[in-house]
Homo-oligomer: A and B are copies of this chain.
């Protein structure tokens, strides 16, 4: 049995196959491939696209989705092993997943880090423990990484370039008033590097992604003979870019101690038409949700170079590809 936990668990061949399957689902939307299969989606955090697209992914293939929200409509959940449960949680993750394994065929999980203790949170314990205890495939719907989003982005890129190899991919930080999850940036950078793109990561000083991801991207670029660059200069990053992936994220230096006065220094990290002129007529995208005119201007978002809706749509197709692969090839059915 195999899980869908993070991009770097899969080879280029496997990831490309998922993108190709997703493109098939883009042509033929409905089938009975997942008849009598149940997906449980477990949300510790809000969701719009992920909730709808995972529900429809399994439903449109003949299966069924049930959504639970631990700590809200469902019981609070303890993640740590071998602990005396004297806190708020009434249920242990181990018991929840062992039970769900009896009811369902897949379980999706969304659980953002709280950005209080990165040394702990970067271990992604909830995913690791789910994978250890589950008897059915786990699908990461965003923890410290967001692999299904990265695949939807990659499908979008593939469908707009004859070849994506050596195209300049820019992972571009943008200003947002809060300290957001690094998950999307982590997974997007990794998948772009696996697909052989030149990768530039642009962010303000002290906003570097975790070294684990930086090193992964650097190694992949080296292996593929592609360029890798990190910069604190937004204009330099956009120079000659082919694809700009915009996202805000919190500084790992401010974990447990968010400092708006630092972040507010970077309000000028906003993408507008002037900046876009420096690129090679680049496409842009963002995972959504997005604060308009804060990270990106309406003009750029609503231009024909913006692929935000296409990427969002692709999540539906990618999710189907993931579930079908988990069901057939990697898992072999229940």
> What residue of chain B has the Cβ atom nearest to residue A295's Cβ?
B85
Contact A99 B66 (CB under 8 A): no
The residue among A94, A100, A289 with the most chain B CB atoms within 10 A of its own CB is: A289
CB distance from A94 to the nearest CB of B (A): 8
Contact B292 A177 (CB under 8 A): no
Contact B66 A46 (CB under 8 A): no
- Interface presence of A82 (CB below 8 A): yes
Contact A91 B289 (CB under 8 A): yes
CB distance from A30 to the nearest CB of B (A): 5
With a cutoff of 8 Å between Cβ atoms, the chain B residues found around residue A294 in the complex are: 84-86
- Interface presence of A304 (CB below 8 A): no
- Interface presence of A55 (CB below 8 A): yes
Contact A98 B316 (CB under 8 A): no
> What residue of chain B has the Cβ atom nearest to residue A102's Cβ?
B313
- Interface presence of A103 (CB below 8 A): yes
- Main SS at interface, chain A: mixed
Q: Mark A84-109, 1 if CB is under 8 A from B, else 0.
A: 11100111101110111011100000
Q: How many copies of this chain does the complex contain?
A: 3
> What residue of chain B has the Cβ atom nearest to residue A290's Cβ?
B95
Contact A313 B82 (CB under 8 A): no
With a cutoff of 8 Å between Cβ atoms, the chain B residues found around residue A288 in the complex are: 91, 95, 99
A46-B30 in contact given A92-B290, A102-B316, A291-B85 (Cβ < 8 Å):
no
Q: Chain A: how many interface residues by the 8 Å CB criterion?
A: 59
- Interface presence of A189 (CB below 8 A): no
Contact B48 A103 (CB under 8 A): no
- Interface presence of A182 (CB below 8 A): no
Contact B75 A52 (CB under 8 A): no
Interface pick from A10-18, A35-43, A204-212: A35-43
| A94 to B301 Cα, complex, angstroms | 11
**What are 6 of the A-B contact pairs (CB < 8 Å)?**
A51-B66, A85-B294, A91-B289, A95-B289, A95-B308, A98-B312
Interface residues of A (CB under 8 A from B): 29-30, 36, 38, 40, 43, 46-49, 51-53, 55-56, 59-60, 64, 66, 68-70, 72-75, 78, 82-86, 89-92, 94-96, 98-100, 102-104, 177, 288-294, 298, 308-309, 312-313, 316
Q: Known contacts A75-B289, A85-B294; can you find 12 more A-B pairs with CB under 8 A?
A: A43-B73, A47-B73, A48-B68, A51-B74, A52-B104, A53-B103, A84-B292, A85-B293, A95-B292, A96-B289, A102-B309, A103-B313
